[in-house]
A and B are shown apart, each in its own frame.
Chain A
């Protein structure tokens, strides 16, 4: 993975000093909260329901054990002993003090970490495929491009006061594990007929109040022009995006208002202008970055055999472990969704354990997934049982990857001042209702996603089953959506009808899954059954 050189380190160190100065000025009253807010947001520091919340960047979800140990240390020293992994592959701490925030950033900087642009109207953390570099189905590792763009969009002088936040995702496989079409810019690395690398460029996706699946703006962008093209799209939006209504300022609104054709025309025209600047990053720099992502020294001649005699281990093996491109290796998914637990949360001890396992068994690398789980990307098959045993002892071996209890949930009203309803208790109740693993496996792949408000941080629009918490005359109420997908078959969920109470939504979900079992054919996934039979049979089952 990428390692800072003296320039990267100097920039991050300067940023810490800058924020320390800005925070001091705020505490001394030299700037108002209104002036300070964008500055602290540019360092991932929110004023939240219980305290300040700090969102630390985990670039494209990749980190090593040293960094993971630092995250555990931050949780213990500055927070309350745990962290929350997010749907953008970052980590959040909920109990932060402003007066300690600069110290936290200083400690993070010692391990090449930061909280730069993780919030506010900034270009946010680039997200990517959690199996990058380990999966056989990618044409190349997309992460060097993510790193290149991360640097090029850090403290970009023209794009630091954008109309709204801006989220970029990049993948390199046909299976989309990063929901690229639900991002402001989604990039898929491809090869053209001449064998040259380039990107399919999707612009204008997003969830929230006005969800859109991004249209394909450019079918093939030569890879070396990735940055200049992104600059062109950003400039068109920065100049023309609305500034009058915070709910209408994302680039997706501009794409929709102009229409795909006109938006594309403007971006292409702006791109021709920007190309004259020569701002593209040269191939030599890409190669320098890419060298950090060379495959680790995989052993050869390893056994493919795995002893399945332990039944609990076998269940976990079947559900959470995925094929690796290197013979004798496997990709391990660590579920942070223990039934009845808080989705995406991990204690400092658990974080330390995962760090140790990565160092010993996964070439010192971990990934955070946008489904709020953790991946050990390169584990020898021979070590799987040992890894599983350690995870099991730490409460990290729930064998539920992509099953109904592998719920994506935002923090909701328990933590977030933007929320209208609590999301975590709903997740807990649903997971508990479906706790039986046999029942979950019977239901198969079923991606359930819960958001506590319309901002959709829980990705409810992209859930096979989605739940949206609303405030109905001062009481929490939950709407049910069906048929969303964040994968390459991207679609937006459809609201079923009137909402439910907290207990009512659990019953409604069960009626949906019962209906699915009743009408499915040929081992179809829930999503496929829904798409085949349509909305009406499910609506009937839910409301009678």
Chain B
């Protein structure tokens, strides 16, 4: 996990080597209605990520809102988008806490825009904490059952 990491505090934390898209995000409604040439879209927590599936090839950034850290809808949105083959930047924004980063990464999020600063050392420790996972995920973790049987 080489990738660039910048300190938190309102700035995005990115696990990508490409340039961060600079275009402002448009809402899902706007994207679908009249701005489908936009390359950055924002999904609110309750919106249907599958509506973007026909457009994934032209989108460079999807930002998914986490309005309250207990609201886990965004994890499904992330996984659905990666399952559909999305390869652009997938950003978790909002009430994103350091103890959630690892789960979010495993759901395919590769950048984070937390409301409150995240300590990079704590984040690094939590990402490296688990050498093994029971499930497959969006970042290619080999599930334990596969390690057992090859």
Contact = CB atoms under 8 A, between A and B. Distances in A.
Interface in B111-145: 119, 122, 125-126, 129-137, 144-145
B129 A14 contact: yes
A5 B72 CA distance: 31
B129 A17 contact: yes
Interface string A431-474: 00000000000000000000000000000000000000000000
* Residue with the highest number of chain A CB atoms closer than 10 Å, among B70, B122, B129: B70
Given A156-B135, A157-B106, A279-B135, A7 B83 contact: no
A245 interface: no
A391 to B, nearest CB: 38
A160 B83 CA distance: 19
A21 B126 CA distance: 10
A238 interface: yes
B71 A161 contact: yes
Nearest to B145: A285
B99 A39 contact: yes
Contacts of B122: 21, 25
A11 B76 contact: no
A162 B72 CA distance: 6
Interface in A149-170: 151-152, 154-163
A282 interface: yes
Contacts of A163: 72
Interface in A22-39: 22, 25, 30-31, 35, 38-39
Given A157-B106, A157-B135, A238 B76 contact: yes
A239 B136 contact: no
Contacts of B136: 277-279
Interface in B5-53: 45
Contact of A10 (B79, B103, B131, B135): B131
Contacts of B70: 38, 121, 161
B99 A238 contact: no
Nearest to A148: B145
Contacts of A288: 148-149
Given A7-B148, A239-B73, A158 B79 contact: yes
B143 to A, nearest CB: 8
Contacts of A5: 148
A289 to B, nearest CB: 9
Contacts of A285: 145, 148-149
Contact of A155 (B97, B133, B149): B133
B75 A7 contact: no
B131 A152 contact: no
B107 A157 contact: yes
Interface in A220-271: 235, 238-239, 243
A466 to B, nearest CB: 32
B100 interface: yes
Contacts of A10: 131-132
Interface in A281-300: 281-282, 284-285, 288
Interface in A366-384: none
A521 interface: no
Contacts of A11: 130, 132, 134, 144
B79 to A, nearest CB: 5
A239 B75 CA distance: 9
B144 A7 contact: yes
Contacts of A22: 99
Given A11-B130, A17-B129, A285-B145, A161 B135 contact: no
A273 interface: yes
A100 interface: no
B71 A14 contact: no
A276 B134 contact: no
A11 B147 CA distance: 14
A11 B70 CA distance: 24
Contacts of A7: 132, 144, 147-148
Contacts of B132: 7, 10-11
B100 A152 contact: no
A18 interface: yes
Contacts of B100: 161
Nearest to B49: A239
B107 A158 contact: yes
* Interface-centre pick from B69, B76, B97, B122 (highest chain A CB count, 10 A): B76
B131 A239 contact: no
B71 A243 contact: yes
A30 B103 CA distance: 21
A157 B148 contact: no
A285 B144 CA distance: 10
A10 B71 CA distance: 29
A235 B72 contact: no
Contacts of B71: 161, 243
A159 B75 contact: yes
B45 to A, nearest CB: 8
A159 B72 contact: yes
A277 B148 CA distance: 19
B70 to A, nearest CB: 6
Given A7-B144, A157-B75, A279-B136, A273 B83 contact: yes
A22 B98 CA distance: 11
Given A157-B75, A158-B107, A277-B83, A21 B125 contact: yes
Residue among B79, B103, B145 with the most chain A CB within 10 A?
Answer: B145
A152 B135 CA distance: 6
A151 B72 contact: no
Interface of B: 45, 69-73, 75-77, 79-80, 83, 97, 99-100, 102-104, 106-107, 119, 122, 125-126, 129-137, 144-145, 147-149
29 contacts: A5-B148, A14-B131, A18-B126, A21-B125, A22-B99, A30-B119, A31-B97, A35-B69, A38-B70, A121-B70, A121-B72, A151-B134, A152-B134, A154-B134, A155-B133, A156-B135, A157-B102, A157-B106, A157-B107, A157-B135, A158-B72, A158-B79, A160-B75, A161-B69, A238-B75, A239-B73, A278-B136, A282-B145, A288-B149
The 8 closest A-B pairs by CB, nearest first: A161-B72, A157-B106, A285-B145, A157-B103, A7-B144, A158-B75, A151-B134, A284-B149
